[in-house]
Amino acid sequence: MAKIDPNFKDEIKKYGAFDFSACYNCGNCTAVCSLSTEEDSFPRQMVRYSMLGLQDEIKTSLKPWLCYYCGECSVSCPRQAFPGELMMSLRRWLTSKYDWTGLSGLLYKSLGAMIFAFIFLTAVVVGFAYYENFEVDKIMKYGHYFEMFAIAGVFAIILLPNIIRMWYFTIVKTKTKVKIGMYFTKIWDLLVHMFTQKRAKDCENNNFRWLEHMVLVFSYLLLLFTTVFLDWFDAENIFVIVLGYIESLFIFIITVDFVKDRIKKNKALSKNSQPSDWFFVIWLLLMGLTAFGVRLFIDLNILENNKWIYLFHLMILAQWALIIVPFGKWTHFLYRSFAMYFAKLKELANLKPASKN
Ligand code: SF4
Ligand code: SF4
């Protein structure tokens, strides 16, 4: 029997949802949503579940991830119940449920805890640089090791177990019988969604945004590859050097455009930003900018006298790799890709509900 939690409304508001109790169930939001289908109908159903506090139903659902937050439903809601913002808040809430450490929920709900974590990592980076007598070569060498271990460690210790928990909630707990072979034959779907986010293209008037997003994902992943595996800051190959410049420049240009939209609030999807949205986009912007700056200072031979830029870059990198990637908005990129994959598996297992609520 479904368990009703009357306090859920208050809980989900801590993740950024507005007051959705004004909803009178008209269904406009579902009708205007270009991603909602007969088999996977949203966001009205999620608004109802949230009003009733049906936590288990929400936790085992992939629907919040099928929304790409175009904001159309919020614009057309006659009761200002902000269903698009609710879907976004549900994604944050789900992230906290998948996360076995509990840190994701804490950081989403408490700005103070988030700021403390940022300050703590800044102190660690400065303390480490002090310990190394601010010798830039040594700090850069360890910075490079940190990048490698941070990627492997965060993935193995935090992200992989969380994906397994997501799989458990959405596939195992819903008693979906997926044949083992299907996990392999449909892996391509996971990769396509991960690298192209192609479903976002189906959102109303979203082609340019989708393109920006895709270029950003590729630039980010390539810059990661260039700095970690091609050791960009130590590279002498002109192709590698130029490649890194181009990638970081793309990241900077696109994130500046995203920040501009959030400041102007001129699009439905950038009207209501939460601290986690700001941290994500500003830290990504700073990653592109400081990486570009460090390499430029190396090429101009002025890094030795301007060590601060590498320290600043390392500080941003540490905060990005140890806070935003495992516990912040970055995880949405990962969970959404897996949600598409799991949704495909569920569709093939033919166990999805057939009617539109
Ligand atoms: S959220 Fe708004 S548009 Fe959607 S069902 Fe409720 S009142 Fe209607
Ligand atoms: S924000 Fe856009 S994609 Fe998400 S539910 Fe609303 S209309 Fe659909």
CB of residue 64 inside a 6 A radius of ligand 2: no
Taking only the tens place, the pLDDT of each residue in 154-212 is 999 999 999 999 999 999 999 999 999 999 999 998 999 888 888 888 776 678 888 89
Domains of the chain: 8-98 (1.10.1060.10), 103-348 (no CATH)
DSSP code at position 234: G
Handedness of CA 12, 16, 17, 19 (dihedral sign): positive
Give the separation between CA 121 and CA 107, rounded to whole angstroms. Answer: 15
Q: What residue ranges in the chain does DSSP mark as E strands?
A: none
Ligand 2 centre and the CA of 73: distance in Å?
A: 6
- Retrieve residue 193's tokens: 């969604």
* Strand, helix or coil for residue 29: helix
- Report d(CA 107, CA 41) in Å as an integer: 30
* pLDDT for 26 beyond 70: yes
Tally Cβ neighbours within 10 Å of residue 307: 16
pLDDT at residue 1, as a whole number = 62
The torsion angles phi and psi of 33, rounded to 5 degrees, stand at: -70, 120
Return the half-sphere exposure (C-beta side, CA atoms, 13 A cut-off) of residue 237.
9
pLDDT (mean) for 11-17: 91
DSSP letters spanning 172-191: ITTT----HHHHHHTHHHHH
To test the pocket of ligand 1, the residue of 25, 50, 82, 85 to mutate (highest count of ligand atoms within 8 Å of its CB) is 25
Contact assessment for residue 295 and residue 240, using Cβ atoms and an 8 Å cutoff: no
267 close to 261: Cβ distance less than 8 angstroms: yes
Check residue 351 and give its pLDDT. 57
Long-range contacts of 191-200 (CB under 8 A, 24+ apart): 193/336, 193/337, 193/340, 193/341, 194/333, 194/334, 194/337, 195/221, 197/68, 197/336, 199/35, 199/66, 199/68, 199/340, 200/68
- Mean pLDDT over 227-237 rounds to 92
For atom 7 of ligand 1, the residue with the nearest CA is 23
Which pLDDT value is given to residue 205? Answer: 67
pLDDT band at 354 (very low <50, low <70, confident <90, very high): very low
What is the average pLDDT score of the chain? 91
Among all ligands shown, which has an atom nearest to the Cα of 89? 2
Q: Find the mean pLDDT for residues 288-296.
A: 95
Q: Which of 23, 203, 267, 340 to mutate to test the pocket of ligand 2 (most atoms within 8 A of CB)?
A: 203
CA atoms within 13 A on the CB side of 328: 26
Mean pLDDT of 294-321: 94
84 in contact with ligand 2, CB cutoff 6 A:
yes
- State the average pLDDT over residues 302-315: 93
Residue 73 CB less than 6 A away from ligand 2: yes
Compute, in angstroms, the gap from residue 244 CA to the centroid of ligand 2. 35
Q: Is the pLDDT of residue 356 over 50?
A: no
272 or 213, greater pLDDT: 213
User: In the predicted model, is pLDDT for residue 58 greater than 90?
Assistant: yes
